[in-house]
Structure 1
């Protein structure tokens, strides 16, 4: 399997595959995302308007089996930059890791580490001193919590990331089986080089 940065034209050509991956992977806990192909296409086209946006692909043969994205935080959705501004932090100082999605059968083979390495490399190339990402926070005892679920906190900590105490955003999407979107808290994690 090859893990590498996709060119802009490769990322645009893979829109539907990227959208499918996001819908499939984010359907699982903790995101529980209902998913909508049109929304995903719109999201991805908005994301790629940033000149600093990168898409890292995991490719098995000719099939895209995973992807990780990142862009300058100042170019991302306002919901993600707002808590930084409210805290007196400049969003222009941060490179934001959007998603990391990988089909289940390819997990545990080092691809997640490669996704972080490639996005960190892109951040350094663009002169960013810090990388951030956010993860959804679900309440303890959530009714859809699967048995044996392990959050990724230990993986992120091993990569040098830590929670930014009190820095939480909200982002809305429709959970599985819900008729309307609801806001979910998103905890920020950061690493400074």
Structure 2
């Protein structure tokens, strides 16, 4: 059965939030996020998409099962940690569409779904009048003990899509890593492009 990619807004977006929460917990448990998430936190965190004008979820469905998703919303609606590096670089958050998480189960990778996630979110951003898109990628040390030997960073994929690193664009955001007892702040590099 082919994978069905859908842009979810309004009620469809709200219905997808519990499945997106599970997907984030499953996928982000792996490198480089190694996030130890909970459904309670995820459902609270994701509610912002249900209450934000301009928010979008692009879902990848295998039958009725959500196997991948990418989210986005106007940067001005994001938490201060994500807005701060843009403001410090004299970039107006009101003019930038933020491409938040992009998660896909490993069995579905390598089929072009990641490109569709970007294509559809960028088209959504343009339809709202945005000319700039940005996202953040977690930064981990090369010598981290949990880094898989065969890990391939996604930098070449993002460069091919027209994104580049924002100089001095580092977001610090807390989460609990697998094997840790509390949250610690993690650095995330901002990537940005003109649409």
The interval holding the TM-score normalised by the smaller chain is over 0.9
What is the alpha-carbon distance in structure 2 between the residues aligned to residue 164 and residue 15 of structure 1? 30
Deviation string, structure 1 residues 69-99 (Cα, Å, up to 9, x no partner):
0000000111100111122221111100000
Q: Answer with 115-124 or 59-68: which moved more.
A: 59-68
Check whether the contact 1:136–1:186 (CA below 8 A) recurs between aligned residues.
yes
- Provide TM-score, normalisation by structure 1: 0.97
Q: Which position in structure 2 is the counterpart of 1:173? A: 175
Residues 9 and 55 in structure 2, CA contact (< 8 A), matched pair in contact too: no
* Unaligned stretches of 5+ residues in structure 1: none
Structure 2 residue aligned with 1:185 = 187
Deviation at 1:4, TM superposition (A): 1.5
SS in 1 for 2:152: coil
Q: Secondary structure at the match of 2:11?
A: helix
**Runs of at least 4 residues of structure 1 off by over 6 A?**
none
Number of the residue aligned with 1:63? 65
Gaps of 5+ in 2: none
In 2, Cα distance between equivalents of 1:73 and 1:35: 24
Partner deviation per Cα, 1:4-55 (whole Å, 9 max, x = no partner): 2013212211222100000011011010000111110011102331101000
Q: Which residue of 2 aligns with 1:9?
A: 11
* Deviation by residue 1:114-166 (Cα, 9 ceiling, x = unmatched): 00000000010001110000001001211111011001001111111111111
Matched, 1:34 2:36: yes
Aligned length: 193
- Structure 1 CA distance, aligned partners of 2:37 and 2:21? 9
Pick the aligned partner of 1:101 from 84, 100, 103.
103
Aligned-partner Cα distance in 2 for 1:138–1:47: 27
Rounded to whole Å, the distance in 1 between the matches of 2:164 and 2:61 is 29
- Secondary structure (helix, strand or coil) at the match of 2:67 reads strand
- Native 8 Å contact 1:47 1:76 kept in 2: no
RMSD between superposed Cα atoms in Å: 0.9
Q: What is the alpha-carbon distance in structure 1 between the residues aligned to residue 187 and residue 90 of structure 2?
A: 20
The match for 1:20 is 22
Counterpart residue number, 2:49? 47
Tell me which residue corresponds to 1:150. 152
Residue 125 (1) aligns with residue 127 (2): yes
